[in-house]
Amino acid sequence: MLTIKDIMNPNLKNKESELILPERTKLRDISINTIQSVIHEYINVTDESGMLVGAVKTERLYYLVLKQKESEFMQILDSMDSGIIAIDRDTRVYYVNYAYARILGVNISKILGRYLSVIEPEASLLDVLKTGKSQYVQDKLVKSVNAYVDTDMHPLIEEGKIVGAFSIFTDVTNINKLHNEVQRITEVAEEYNRQIQAKEILEQQKIIGESKVYLDCVNKALKVAPTDTMVLLRGENGVGKEVISNIIKEKCARSNKPFVTVNCSAIPNSLIESELFGYEEGAFTGASKGGKMGKFQLADGGTLFLDEIGDMPYEMQAKLLRVLQEGEIERVGRQERIAVDVRVIAATNKNLEKMVSEEKFREDLYYRLNVVSIHIPPLRERGNDVLLLTDYFLKKYCEKYHRELDIDRRVYHCFLQYNWPGNVRELINVIESAVILCDGRTINLNDIPEAIRTAYREKTQAKDKVEQRYTFGDRTLKEEVEEFERELILHTIEKFGGDKEKAIQALGLSKRSVYRKIAKNGTRN
């Protein structure tokens, strides 16, 4: 229940007043007649020891005591967990409970008895008072206390007239936190399930990979598989775009229908139209008797995988676009169109965006194909997947060539360091070659291609050189820097055949600075 302490101003003391009230006095216990008899502007307030601790404006106290007397239900509202504020027809705040102060982090004395239109002119409660229409605001953030509240606002009506309005504030911060935590845990569980599903798919189809970047790629393929949308697979040569296309095919509604693959880069420009759309008998010299069905017709009802789409001739791209838009083909030598129902998956290792800007690939076809784009990571970004793939293909080719081999750990380390420009395809070739050529029972560095060994040696030597260079020993950092400068100056002078003028220009230093460092560090002339 509200007391004098809740509404007093502690900064006002020793005001001229014939009435003094203890700070613990409840507003409901104050007599209206007592306040009416006060002639001074303020009433002083004391604590239990009788010391002055503040003052309250007489008119404000009279207004609030009067409202307390009029509203018998306020004692009930004081005990509620929801925050409540009430204003009269003049927007003056005549009631605030303690829950309101706690939820919104405000001091009751700052608002009680004051005009809401003055202290918070943008308050929604003022609109309710003006229009007489209730409002409900959900999950409003109170930045000052970092809390979320639901606000239920209603007008107060007596005899058909609006006499005030009130708001009920419910703190939903903990509910929101619980909801967010449940949502977070759900998302974690879903992500975990997706990872498990991806691994199961990989195991079922004997696809090797556990790195997050590769599992994310597989998850994306699994998401898009049940739909009929077009998919564009992006990635370098040898990353396994056909593997991802097979995952999509196996998990789509067309899985038991034809899956036809076309390598756009392997078909001569003069034949690609007839390969895709087919031709009629006599359409051109050498045409088969009775004509021939094209890849689109062969894939009708199923999936067509257009590999190396970036190599498709520019003039052919317009015809492909029309087929994708209209779902109809025209066989070479035939005017009548044939309806086809085909899902298209395209793949490329080219930068299509650059090709579009250079007008080597049609922009409209690019956007038609690029509905869902899946990037397949190169082997060098897949971490320890290279070791899993190595073991898998070692076992495969040992069985094929009837050999029992293992791999020296230095080869594993070498494979992890190598950049694999040819990706998985290159790794497969390296393993097969090593299985065939290995003379002993263990594949070592001598059994792998010289290019890979050379790259490994260069990286190892560079690392050793860096470690050696930056091992200070007994020298200070300053001495190390001076030694580095000496080596750099010496190397640059030698590079220019002893011509110091050219060396100075290349180093970007002043002549004076270079000669000073030469003299200081003892660099030979």
Q: Is the dihedral of CA 505, 507, 512, 514 positive or negative?
A: negative
Q: What is the pLDDT of residue 195?
A: 57
Read off the pLDDT band of 473 (50, 70, 90).
Answer: low
Segment among 153-157, 386-390, 505-509 with least mean pLDDT: 505-509
Residue with tokens 């055949």: 497
Residue 320, both tokens: 């492909």
For residues 454 and 421, what is the distance between their CA atoms, to the nearest angstrom?
15
pLDDT at 420 over 70: yes
State the CATH architecture for 4-170: 2-Layer Sandwich (3.30)
Q: What is the pLDDT of residue 519?
A: 67
pLDDT at 522 over 60: no
Read off the pLDDT band of 75 (50, 70, 90).
Answer: low
Q: Is 451 helix (H, G, I), strand (E, B) or coil?
A: helix
Read off the pLDDT band of 524 (50, 70, 90).
Answer: very low
Q: Where are the domains of the chain?
A: 4-170, 209-375, 380-469, 477-521
How many CA atoms, within 13 angstroms, populate the side-chain half-sphere of residue 89? 5
Fold adopted by 380-469: Helicase, Ruva Protein; domain 3 (1.10.8)
For residues 498 and 490, what is the distance between their CA atoms, to the nearest angstrom?
9
Cβ-Cβ contacts under 8 Å for 409 (sequence gap 6 or more): none
pLDDT at 120 over 90: no
Residue with tokens 């992890």: 416
Q: What is the pLDDT of residue 67?
A: 76
Other residues' Cβ atoms within 10 Å of the Cβ of residue 281: 12
Go through 505-520 and write b for each residue having 16 or more CB atoms within 10 A of its CB, e for each that does not.
eebebeeeebeebbee
In single-letter form, the type of residue at position 483 comes to E
Read off the pLDDT band of 525 (50, 70, 90).
Answer: very low
pLDDT at 464 over 50: yes
Q: Give the right CATH number for 209-375 from 3.40.50.920, 3.40.50.300, 3.30.70.260, 3.40.50.880.
A: 3.40.50.300
Q: What is the pLDDT of residue 336?
A: 78
Please give the residue that has the higher pLDDT: either 176 or 370: 370
